[in-house]
């Protein structure tokens, strides 16, 4: 049984939230953001690269809707 991290968290360890937040703050990336922050979008787009998805809509249609039946 695997007790370590899966591949995605291992990949996300290369960019720390602190370093990412510094870049976002420098360029005012979260200006007027209500709920979907730059960090959230980065995580979604990084996740999308694994199954070769091209957009947030593509992630929603193919990946997230597949998990609808699993929601509690």
CB within 8 A of 8, min separation 6: which ones?
46, 47, 50
The domain total for the chain is 1
1 assigned to some structural domain: no
2 assigned to some structural domain: no
Query: Domain residues for 36?
Result: 7-70
The predicted-structure confidence for 6-57, as pLDDT tens digits, reads as follows 888 888 888 888 999 999 999 999 888 888 889 988 888 888 787 777 777 7
44 assigned to some structural domain: yes
49 assigned to some structural domain: yes
Question: pTM above the 0.85 mark?
Answer: no
| Residue 50 DSSP class | T
pLDDT score of 67 more than 80: no
């Amino acid at each position: 049984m695997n007790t370590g991290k899966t591949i995605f968290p291992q990949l996300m360890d290369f960019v720390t939230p602190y370093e990412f937040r510094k870049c976002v703050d420098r360029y005012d990336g979260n200006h007027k953001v209500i709920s979907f922050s730059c960090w959230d979008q980065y995580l979604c787009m990084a996740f999308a690269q694994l199954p070769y998805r091209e957009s947030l809509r593509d992630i929603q249609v193919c990946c997230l809707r597949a998990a609808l039946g699993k929601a509690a």
